[in-house]
Structure 1
Amino acid sequence: MRKDSRLSRMLHVLIHMDQLDAPATSDKIASMLNTNPVVVRRTMAGLRDKGYVTSVKGHGGGWSLEIALSKITLFDIHDALGDSSVFTIGLSDEHTSCPIEIAVNKAISGALIEAEALLLARFKDVTLDVLALGFTDYPPNMKTSLGE
C-alpha cells in the first residue's frame, strides 16, 4: 500500500515558501516535488480554502503564504489536506463472523484510535516555525529546492 506523503510534502513546500521573496509557481513546486502542476494546484487549493496560502494567476503569479508559520500547526495542514488515515494498517474483513477475527480487529482498532488521537494532539502543539528552525543548520549559500 502506498503511503500518503502529502503532509510532509506540503510542510516542506510551505517552509520553502516562507524563505522566498516572490510567489512560488505551481510549475516550480511541481518540479521540486517531482509531480504534475495540476496535482500541486489541487493540493494547494485545500490550503488556500483554509486561509494558509493565497494564489495569484498570470505572469508573476503563484502561491504565497497568507499567515506566518508561527500561526500554523502540523494539525492545521493535516486537516486542510482532507481526510486521510494517519496509519495504513488495515483490518481483516474476510471472516466477519469469526470470533478470533472480531477480537483481533477490536484490539488493533482500539490501539490505532488511541495512537491517532495522541499523534493528532501532538500535531496541534507543533508550529511550522519550529520546523523551520532546523533550516538554520544549513550553510547560507546552500540552494534550497525552490531556490534559484
Structure 2
Amino acid sequence: MKTDTRLSAMLHLLLHMAGRQDPVTSEELARYMHGNPAAVRRTMAGLRGAGIVRSGKGHGGGWTLGRPLAEITLADVHAALGAPGLFAIGSRNAQPTCLVEQAVNASMQETLGEAERLVQARLRSVTLASIDADFRARMAQHPNAPKEPRHV
C-alpha cells in the first residue's frame, strides 16, 4: 500500500513559506519538493479553503501563509488535506461471517481506534511554530548553515 506523504510535503512547504515576506509561486514550491506545480496548486487549494494559506494571481502573486505558525496545528493541515487515513492496516473483510475473523476485527478496530485517538491528540498539540523552532535550533548547530536556508 502506498504511503500518503501529502501531510509531510505540505508541512515542508509551509515552513519554507514562513521565512518569506513575499508570495511564493507554485513553481518555486514545486522545486522545493522536486515536483509538479499543478500538483502543488491542487494540494494547496485545500489549505486555502481552510484559511491556512492565501493565494494571489498575476505578477507578484503566489502563496502566502493565512495565519501565524503558532495558530496552525498538524491537525489543521491534516484536515485541510481531507483527513487521509493515518494507518495502512485494516480488516481483511469488513463483514465477516467467520467468528474468528469477527474477533480479530473487533480487536483490530479497538486497537486502531485507540491509536488514532492518540495520534489525533498529538497532531492537535503540535504547531508549525514548534516545528519551526526545532528547525532553527538545528540550523544554529549546523557549522556550514547558509545565511538564508529557506531558498532553493
Normalising by structure 2, report the TM-score.
0.89
**Aligned AA for 1:50?**
A
Q: Partner of 2:146 in structure 1?
A: 141
Query: How well do the aligned residues superpose, as a CA RMSD in angstroms?
Result: 1.7
- The superposition leaves residues 3-29 of structure 1 with CA deviations (integer Å, 9 ceiling, x where unpaired) of 011111111111110001211111111
Partner SS for 1:129: helix
Normalising by structure 1, report the TM-score.
0.91
1:48 & 1:94 partners in 2: Cα distance?
35
Measured after TM superposition, the shift of residue 90 of structure 1 is: 2.3
Which structure 2 residues correspond to residues 37-48 of structure 1 after superposition, within 5 A? 37-48=37-48
Q: Partner of 2:9 in structure 1?
A: 9
- The superposition leaves residues 117-147 of structure 1 with CA deviations (integer Å, 9 ceiling, x where unpaired) of 1110111111110000112121552664x50
Q: 1:101 to 1:42 in 2, by over 3 A?
A: same
Higher relative contact order (CA 8 A, sep 6+): 1
Q: Tell me the matched-pair count.
A: 147
Q: Which runs of 5+ in 1 are unaligned?
A: none
Q: Which runs of 5+ in 2 are unaligned?
A: none
**Aligned AA for 1:2?**
K
Measured after TM superposition, the shift of residue 46 of structure 1 is: 0.7
Which structure 2 residues correspond to residues 78-117 of structure 1 after superposition, within 5 A? 78-93=78-93, 96-117=96-117
2:90 & 2:13 partners in 1: Cα distance?
30
8 Å Cα contact 1:52-1:66 kept in structure 2: yes
Q: Percent identity?
A: 44
1:95 & 1:69 partners in 2: Cα distance?
43
**Aligned AA for 1:46?**
G
2:94 & 2:133 partners in 1: Cα distance?
47
